[in-house]
Structure 1
Amino acid sequence: MKGEIMRIKIVWLAAFWFALMVAGCGKKEAQEEHVEEHHSDVVVLTEEGIKLAGIKVEKVGLRNVPVEFSAAGKVGFNEKKLVHITARTAGWVEKVNAFAGDRVKAGDSLASLYSPEFLSSQGEFVQAEERLKSVSPTDSVEYRTAQALYNSARSRLLLFGAGEKELEALAQTHRPVERLVIKSPITGNIVESNLIVGNTIDRGADLFRISDLSSLWVMADVYEKDIRAVQKGRQVRIKTASLGGRTFNGTVEAVNDVLDETTRTFKVRILVENPTGELKPEMFCECVFSGQSNRPVLAVPFETVQHVGDDYFVFVREDSVSFEKRTVKTGEELGNLIEIINGLKEGEEVVTVGAFMLKSELLKAEMGGHGH
């Protein structure tokens, strides 16, 4: 009797464990019913699995993609509005009217110099002017000589910095002025002054530098990988941390064709209007370039490209439920897109949403995570 009871218990336990195993296998199959099978580099899903994973595909095509990148920059003078004043004759400083930091207008007196050479040149001009008046135009040889001497004396005074009005007054009065007045040729700011009253100066000595700061140049260092997207006339945003991240608008004026071997960058000159004078030369800034690429490229959204180590790949749709892993070679990063140099053809359909899930399924299969 006891033996019979024991046999019944053993049969019952065996039946119970068999039922658990069948139930367990059924549960596992239910969990995996959305992933039907893997064939090497192909993931096959059911239509329901595709919906649950939210997989989306789109055709690959050439794009004139928007690009945006930043480059370090430095604010400098607009050299088209920068004037360097040097001494055109030797002498000594009698008076200084403007100093570094001063705002001056075109024609303002900056300094006065005493120059013996300037005085003697005025005397030569007076003599040449009197001689020209005394010669009859009918005496062609003498008149031409007198005219040449007059023109030479006049040009010499203009070269020293005398103006037309000063020459007219000298021709009328025949009284030379004692001081050579240095005048500002432009409206702007004195950024450098090297004059002290009583100092002697030589011909060619540096006197002043004046700049109109209403517009400035920003020199940006653009990396060689980005230079193709930089074109003359393109708009650039200039951001300055020293002004609390304030943004100014600029325009590309010129792109240097010579690559700096040390920094691997090209110099790009940007014109920035500065009507309020907030930007100052020597400030550091960030230059944000944006626009359309200058050539069509084969590009896909960033999330389309997956990678394992150095293997970069995408998933190409073979049919309605099959997706093939395809190794690709990537190029430039173009905003939220990435260029595909090799591995895809125009018109193929790639997974743009859900590629990470497909990669996970593929890795599970490679590690033996599925058994069917």
Structure 2
Amino acid sequence: MNLPKHNRFWLAGVALAVGVAAGYGVAYQRIPGSTGTAAEQGAEAKALYWYDPMYPQQKFDKPGKSPFMDMQLVPRYASEGAGNATVSIDPGLTQNLGLRTAMVVRGRFSSSLDVTGVLAFNERDVAVIQTRTSGFVERVYARAPGDVLAAGAPLADILVPDWAAAQTEFLALKRSGDRELISAARQRLQLTGMPSSLIAQVERSGKVQPNLTVTSPVGGVVQELNVRTGMTVASGETLARINGLGSVWLAVAVPEAQTGSITEGQAIEARLPAFPGTVFNGKVSAILPDTNPDSRSLRVRVEMTNAEGRLRPGMTAQVRLNRSTGQDSLWVPSEAVIRTGKRALVMLAEDAGHYRPVEVRPGQESDGKTLILQGLEEGQKVVTSGQFLLDSEASLKGIVAAPLETDGQALGSQP
């Protein structure tokens, strides 16, 4: 029979719609665990309560419309009671759904935290050079701020006129041979600020030594140099400031959320771009009391030896802070933990393809592992892949993980 073209398109559309509907009905009947309509269930079992799948924790004693969503409440039947408060998956479908499990392990939990740091001067290793008496600067050696000096390096020569008279008197008394007068004269030289080495030189040579050569007491970097040829210096005036390089500080910024695991004396490993392949070791010497308000990070100070002088302030470093709990602890793969914002859950794998949500109290996380402080026991199995699918199914069925108990009260409950 020849039909008009538009009629043939209309018949084809009707046939397609009927086929889709029939296929959906057949597919629905083949879904494992499906039990037909709510009316059929109601005829066979009594509903315990009704609930909104989006808010399964709220229970209602009669059917109706959900006050939360624009949808009808779903009945929960006695056959789905506490004894069956699990999500059941045919073991044959486990592999098809990509479900994987892992064991809850008890053992020593070693963690590490990778952060960045910047080398700085050790502010405890500072030498401030001052004059003990007034005088005139006769010579300044070729030094400038930023120069690296060895211990004993000369900085300036200063003429001290007052020392000439005191030394002349001392030498005269020494020739007299009176020990008490000589001792008193030597003490006077010390009180004028004359160093012991210069007094010994005067005694050996028998000549007046009114010039003082100011030297660096430590090896390090010249931070300040406030002396120039021809200038007059007063007693107590600062001439130079030297910062030692025997050790340096490594300033490390630790995220605020990770500061609870940092302790003084904790070992660290530092790797610097300037020395590829070399690992420098150190220990946390101080945890500073203030937190950076912009980056929300805590400043941690690490002291590192610098015997070879290769470490220079301003260099950057990749820092690894190593830590061990020192005791056996429960832990699971971090991917098994579902964080909802208010609490943390895991899907516990039970026998015969049954799964149920369990609330846990997670602890420190490191290297793909998370400490479990409460909620699980050693030897249990948790789902590490596909757990969100199971959690969604549990929510649709109204299965809610029981809250953790602490000190006789549920976590988050009000007294």
Shorter-chain TM band: 0.7 to 0.9
RMSD: 3.9
- 2:350 maps to a residue whose letter is E
Question: Secondary structure at 1:320's aligned position in 2?
Answer: helix
In the other structure, the counterpart of 2:393 is 361
Alpha-carbon offset, residue 44 of structure 1: 1.0
Structure 2 stretches lacking a partner, 5+ long: 1-16, 36-78, 400-415
Distance 2:396 2:135 in 1: 89
- 1:100 maps to a residue whose letter is P
Question: Secondary structure at 1:252's aligned position in 2?
Answer: strand
Question: Secondary structure at 2:347's aligned position in 1?
Answer: strand
C-alpha change, 1:68 and 1:61, in structure 2 (3 Å) is same
Alpha-carbon offset, residue 110 of structure 1: 1.0
Deviations 1:63-102 (A, max 9, x none): 4323222456442213454322111222222111022233
Report matched runs for 1:1-372 at 5 Å: 24-30=24-30, 32-33=31-32, 41-71=85-115, 73-79=117-123, 81-97=125-141, 98-131=143-176, 134-135=177-178, 143=179, 145-146=180-181, 148-149=183-184, 152-153=187-188, 155-156=190-191, 159-161=193-195, 163=197, 166-213=198-245, 215-222=247-254, 223=256, 225-232=258-265, 234-237=267-270, 249-256=280-287, 259-260=289-290, 265=298, 267-271=300-304, 273=306, 275=308, 277=310, 279-282=311-314, 287-294=319-326, 296-308=328-340, 310-365=342-397
Question: Secondary structure at 2:187's aligned position in 1?
Answer: helix
Distance 2:300 2:358 in 1: 39
Alpha-carbon offset, residue 38 of structure 1: 7.4
Question: Secondary structure at 1:196's aligned position in 2?
Answer: coil
Query: Normalising by the residue count of structure 1, what TM-score does the alignment of the two structures yield?
Result: 0.73
Pairs aligned (count): 333
- 1:315 maps to a residue whose letter is M
Question: Secondary structure at 1:64's aligned position in 2?
Answer: strand
Alpha-carbon offset, residue 43 of structure 1: 1.1
Distance 1:20 1:173 in 2: 117
Question: Secondary structure at 1:65's aligned position in 2?
Answer: strand
Distance 1:80 1:189 in 2: 14
Q: Do the aligned residues in 1 keep the contact of 2:120 with 2:314 (CA within 8 Å)?
A: yes
C-alpha change, 1:169 and 1:270, in structure 2 (3 Å) is closer
Alpha-carbon offset, residue 45 of structure 1: 1.2
C-alpha change, 1:326 and 1:103, in structure 2 (3 Å) is closer
Q: Do the aligned residues in 1 keep the contact of 2:219 with 2:245 (CA within 8 Å)?
A: no
C-alpha change, 1:302 and 1:365, in structure 2 (3 Å) is same
Alpha-carbon offset, residue 303 of structure 1: 0.9
- 1:123 maps to a residue whose letter is T
Question: Secondary structure at 1:344's aligned position in 2?
Answer: coil
Distance 1:50 1:128 in 2: 105
Structure 1 stretches lacking a partner, 5+ long: 1-16, 136-142, 368-372
Identity %: 21
- 1:161 maps to a residue whose letter is P
Question: Secondary structure at 2:289's aligned position in 1?
Answer: coil
Alpha-carbon offset, residue 48 of structure 1: 0.7
Alpha-carbon offset, residue 320 of structure 1: 3.5
C-alpha change, 1:217 and 1:120, in structure 2 (3 Å) is farther
- 1:66 maps to a residue whose letter is S
